[in-house]
Structure 1
Amino acid sequence: MSSVATYYNGKSVLITGATGFMGKVLVEKLLRSSPDVKAVYILVRPKSGQSMQERVVDMVKCKVFDRVREGWPNFHEKIKAINAELTQPNLAICPEDTRELLSEVNIVFHCAATVRFDEPLKHALLLNVMGTQQLLVLARQMHNLEAFIHVSTAYANCNQRHIEEVIYPPPVEPKKLFSLVEWMDESLVQEITPKLIGDWPNTYTFTKALTEYLVQQEKGGLNVAIIRPSIVGASWQEPFPGWIDNFNGTSGFLIAAGKGIIRTVKCNLDAVADIVPVDVAINLILAAGWYTAVHRPKSMLIYNCTTGGINPFCWGEMENYVIATYKRNPLEKAFRIPSANMTSNYLIHQYWTTVSHRVPALLYDLYLRLTGRKPRMMKIFNRLHRTMTLLEYFTSQTWEWSSDNMNMLMNQLSPKDKKLFCFDVRQLHWSEYIENYCVGTKKYLLNEDMAGIPAAKQHLRKLRNIQYAFNTTLLVIIWRVFIARSQMAQNIWYFVVNLCYKFLSYFRASSTLRH
């Protein structure tokens, strides 16, 4: 028997952020591993013109629930949506729903957050910090609450080089910052944001650090644990290898590389790419929920959910895996042949940005204008470059994380639970994982049929022929314009060709003598 799975049977669970990437995987794993769970309450708000009900319907239709659907076709009946808004007082939950939550909920998993690095500070504070505070107020009133699990990020304290499983006091009290930004004009907040966040690279990591401190200060008598995943990537094993449903972070760049849009990336090739598969993070979250509720640790435990210190994988290793996978399984309608140049040198990166990004984008947009279509490639490149700039902080440095609590929790699991809720990343083979990740972007993000691979390969061959023709034409133009009209250029050209010929003759003669 699985102690973790058995614990959740008969329990009522509240999940925030359930419609997000990690939230969906959490709901799916909970329903699949503990089918007798009493209820899964999810907080949902209307968004992008969709009502709460429409968002929930879209969510349960998602492919991530296919395995659950096979075993329990009516799994959606366990999901109970609550109309809520984290940025509003009392979460804007109606009195009737509040009463139900207070009497029924046994475990809270708080996954909701804005993950945008360039989110305005005021909004990031509202959602990440004040939203958590409002949820804690609700949780402290719950009659049967056994555990409150807060999902943070391993980069909440990225201004430290070695990150322990402890709370680091922020430079400012969260409540004082609330009071400051409450009356201040949005433009003024934007102006002083760099001063306020100090040596944090963005508002996301800064507000996550504030939230961790606030959880510690305001948890009261609750049994609380904090999970800190690093860069969350596609699934490793569950619900199936390579599942991914958003373009954030690494996923967007993989697709851009597969499409041939991105050709150069500035990063430290030796820096650790601390990617953690989403199912590893979810398994740890569920196991920590069980341990927090059943064993009731005396102090709040923090789990650094990372791979770098246990099974390191560097950014420099990624290039070959990604390009090779996309050449075997090409994306449809690629812009160019997949190729990448990863470098830490600023000048080389700028050169390749101009030659491989800006010039082709301008030429393609000119072609679109001439054919009566709206230019778009330069906008795409500019958006990608802005994102690359935001991520450069994380691709150019390596951090060290302690993982004592994660190891302790692993040792507390039975052999059955170690298999069912696996978060042992020592077993992760990066080459296989990256290949599944790339294929996952094709199948699940772009919804491309694998049967279309032969046609996609044919398209790549066509692009290769166009590239050869373009390079040949360019050489002819250079010859006609610069070399054929200048005696000095011709002399240099003939000298170089003659030198190459002599070298070839020398090596040929040496080879003949040896034989």
Structure 2
Amino acid sequence: MSLVTPYKKVQRLVRRILAPDLSVRLGVENPDFLGMLADRRCDGQSDMKEKGRGDVSHGSRVRSQFSGSSVLITGCSGFLGKALLEKILRCCPEVETVYVLLRSNTKNGSAAQRRLQEEIFPSSCFNQLRRVRPESLSKCRAVQGDVCLPRFGMSEEDFMLVKEHVNYVFHCAATINFNEHLKTAFKINVDSMIHLVDICKSIKKLEALIHVSTAYVNAPVRANHVIPEEFRSVPADYWQLKSRVDKMSREEVSAMTEEILESSGHWPNSYCLTKCIGELVLRDLGESLPYLIVRPTIVTCAYKEPEPGWIDTLVGPTGLVLAVAGRSSLKIVNIGSSGRNPIPWKFMLEAMPGYYHRHPTDKSRGPIFFRSSTVYRLLDLLLHQLPAVAHDVVSRLKGGKADAARTMKKIKDALGVLKYFTMNEWFFESENMYTVLKAMSWEDMYFFDFDVRSIIWDVYFTIWSHGMKVFLLKEGPVYYDTSKRSRL
């Protein structure tokens, strides 16, 4: 029997029970819905004891490995970095210290700590942690630094702390701007990996290095190809390519970007190319290190934790530490659903517009999906481009600021960047992910479940829609009877 079969049966059963309108029956009309989704968060020990299973924390290998250990995390100002930091603090309360690398505009180390307190911790990502384990926040120590600099620009004191005490390193820092200037992308995604390897080689008690990459290091591979969990080569010598980019001015690189991307392997953008080269740097320079590369596909909102629907940007590594803590042979793990739980487009086409029809935002009517590109372009012209031009004309006549057309162009350019990924199809092999899942105990699955087969997609898209409204637009958990339609 296929591993996916039980999950498919459960999904069909849920839909049958909740039919005919799943998104309404499961949607935020039910005030307890989001709480029910989050009932498996690891603070629910009392619930587990009531079910006769006792305290599950004692059987968790991951929690025991983090007990008394220190962790270094880069990229905590980003979406994945925040989620990872919150997860470790909430589900691994015995962790000794979490060092958070943050940039600062001053040379005073306290500035990084102030940024941690004023920019990172206030995020709604930490709402649950503040309720159940507020004391865990005191285990964080900000380390001032910049991943683009040798030794991450850390002070001698901070570097010695990392060298002597850190056991686990999670590298989440990266530029995720698909159209980042190629010179900047090399500096952040490639140079940082060189510096990271040097730092990890000096750490005395390193147990594991987890590098968060992207499944789209295989972007040039087209449909009908199974993409394995292996390193992808770059046709050109990547060291020569890096040296060439380093020696050129920003203007020269800008003029040559398309030619460089094409000659290096038909890359769609600077992000995919430099993330691929970053992996190769880790492979070649970090051969002696206990590392694992995690390749998520498209990162959207949280399904259950830290809060259902949580998202803080318009764009589950912890459990994977099992794969490398024992010097496993696994080196790359694809985290994607295409192999075992693919996403049918119809769920997005039905769930998201349906949600915004019942819960329109104060600022817009929500997304509308079209199967015809001609209809889309016509409505884009009539509803977006022409009104923006008219707005700018009126604003200029009144002596005001005219930037609506420029804003619409930025939005259109952003959609154009995503077109490559939404109009192509990839099938990512994920056998290593299931190898890790099979090695996990029941207790670890309770705390650190990342099995994509359990996701019910039409439910997820409803959660995503709710999350964008609550966490990005800041309109609060609005229910059916209190929503108001916006009027043009």
Class of the TM-score when normalised by the shorter of the 2 chains: 0.7 to 0.9
Work out which of the residue numbers 364, 367, 370 in structure 2 matches 1:342.
Answer: 370
By how many angstroms is 1:82 displaced? 0.8
Partner of 2:36: none
Q: Distance in 1 between matches of 2:404 and 2:483?
A: 21
By how many angstroms is 1:71 displaced? 2.2
SS at match of 2:121: helix
Question: Mean Cα displacement is larger for which, 74-83 or 405-414?
Answer: 74-83
By how many angstroms is 1:307 displaced? 1.2
Q: Distance in 1 between matches of 2:478 and 2:229?
A: 47
By how many angstroms is 1:339 displaced? 5.3
SS at match of 2:134: coil
Q: Distance in 1 between matches of 2:81 and 2:461?
A: 22
Cα distance change of structure 1 residues 360 and 452 upon mapping to structure 2, 3 Å threshold: farther
SS at match of 1:309: coil
Determine if the alignment matches structure 1 residue 286 to structure 2 residue 288. no
Q: Distance in 2 between matches of 1:128 and 1:324?
A: 39
Q: Distance in 2 between matches of 1:377 and 1:454?
A: 33
CA contact (8 A) 2:319 2:449 kept: no
Partner of 1:55: 115
Cα distance change of structure 1 residues 71 and 350 upon mapping to structure 2, 3 Å threshold: closer
By how many angstroms is 1:325 displaced? 0.6
Q: Distance in 2 between matches of 1:99 and 1:318?
A: 49
Partner of 1:236: 303
Larger radius of gyration: 1
Determine if the alignment matches structure 1 residue 225 to structure 2 residue 292. yes
Give the residue type in structure 2 aligned to 1:287: G
Q: Distance in 1 between matches of 2:377 and 2:204?
A: 59
TM score, norm. by length of structure 1: 0.78
Q: How many residues align?
A: 421
In the TM superposition, 1:173-252 aligns within 5 A as: 173-198=237-262, 199-248=266-315
In the TM superposition, 1:300-379 aligns within 5 A as: 300-334=330-364, 337-338=365-366, 340-343=368-371, 345=373, 347-366=374-393, 368=395, 373-379=400-406
By how many angstroms is 1:319 displaced? 2.5
Q: Distance in 2 between matches of 1:159 and 1:44?
A: 33
CA contact (8 A) 2:217 2:232 kept: no
Determine if the alignment matches structure 1 residue 140 to structure 2 residue 207. no
Higher RCO by CA contacts (8 Å cutoff, separation 6 or greater): 2
1:40-78 deviation digits (Å, cap 9, x = unpaired): 011110269994233211211222112111222222211
More helix by share: 1
Q: Distance in 2 between matches of 1:51 and 1:171?
A: 43
CA contact (8 A) 1:223 1:300 kept: no
Determine if the alignment matches structure 1 residue 404 to structure 2 residue 423. no
Q: Distance in 2 between matches of 1:413 and 1:90?
A: 34
Partner of 2:96: 38
By how many angstroms is 1:376 displaced? 3.7
Determine if the alignment matches structure 1 residue 7 to structure 2 residue 65. yes
Q: Distance in 2 between matches of 1:411 and 1:113?
A: 30
1:237-260 deviation digits (Å, cap 9, x = unpaired): 001210000122xxxxxxxxxxxx
CA contact (8 A) 2:147 2:192 kept: yes
SS at match of 1:450: coil
Q: Distance in 2 between matches of 1:240 and 1:338?
A: 22
By how many angstroms is 1:440 displaced? 0.9
CA contact (8 A) 1:309 1:400 kept: yes
CA contact (8 A) 1:121 1:203 kept: yes
Cα distance change of structure 1 residues 372 and 184 upon mapping to structure 2, 3 Å threshold: closer
Q: Distance in 2 between matches of 1:456 and 1:48?
A: 45
By how many angstroms is 1:455 displaced? 6.3
Q: Distance in 2 between matches of 1:343 and 1:414?
A: 45
Determine if the alignment matches structure 1 residue 111 to structure 2 residue 172. yes
Work out which of the residue numbers 150, 157, 167 in structure 2 matches 1:89.
Answer: 150
CA contact (8 A) 2:356 2:367 kept: no
By how many angstroms is 1:89 displaced? 2.1
By how many angstroms is 1:96 displaced? 1.2
Partner of 2:234: 170
Structure 2 unaligned residues grouped into runs of 5+: 1-58
1:21-58 deviation digits (Å, cap 9, x = unpaired): 10000000011111010010111102699942332112
1:455-478 deviation digits (Å, cap 9, x = unpaired): 651x43x44xxxxxxxxxxxxxxx
Question: Mean Cα displacement is larger for which, 442-451 or 4-13?
Answer: 442-451
1:116-138 deviation digits (Å, cap 9, x = unpaired): 01111111001101111101101
By how many angstroms is 1:353 displaced? 2.3
CA contact (8 A) 2:302 2:310 kept: yes
Structure 1 unaligned residues grouped into runs of 5+: 249-281, 464-515
